[in-house]
Amino acid sequence: GCSNVLHGTCLVFPFVSFPVGGEQISAIGRGICVLLGISLEDTQKELEHMVRKILNLRVFEDESGKHWSKSVMDKQYEVLCISQFTLQCVLKGNKPDFHLAMPSEQAEGFYNGFLEQLRKAYRPELVKA
C-alpha cells in the first residue's frame, strides 16, 4: 500500500495532452506532468516541500547530452498538474481503499493552494492544470 503523505509523481514527456470524456482539458509542450495525491494529514509545509522538489528535480539532459542534469526551471519547460487521489490508495484484500485521501471538498482548496505556490515559485504561464 501507499503511506499517508503527500504524493507527487513526476512524468517527463515531450508533449502531454489531458483529455476528459474525449475533450482536451489541458496540454503542454516539453515538460513534466505532476500527478498529485493529497492525504488527510498533509500540511502547508509538505506542500511547500513538494513545490521545491518538483521545480528542482533534475530529470532533463544538459546541452552536452548529460542525463539527469537540468530541472524544469533550468530548461524553462512547462508543468502540468493533475490532482490524483488514487495515489493515496491502500489495498484491503483485493479492494482499493481511499480513506487516507483528503476529502474532495478539502482537497480542492489544498490543490489550488499548491498551484498558486507553484506559479509564485516559477513562471505562472508555464504552470497548467
pLDDT in tens, the chain (129 residues): 344 445 656 566 656 666 667 776 677 788 888 888 898 888 889 889 999 999 999 989 999 999 999 999 999 999 999 888 888 888 889 998 988 889 999 999 999 999 999 999 999 999 998
Q: What is the pLDDT of residue 99?
A: 87
- The three-class DSSP label of residue 43 is coil
Orientation angle between helical segments 104-121 and 44-56, nearest 10 degrees: 50
Domains of the chain: 7-128 (3.50.80.10)
Is 43 one of the annotated active-site residues of the chain? no
* Residue 88 near residue 100, CB atoms below 8 Å: yes
pTM of the model: 0.80
Q: Give dist(CA 32, CA 19) in Å, integer.
A: 16
pLDDT of residue 26: 73
Could you say which of 43, 56, 86, 104 is catalytic?
A: 86
What pLDDT, on the 0 to 100 scale, is given for residue 20?
65
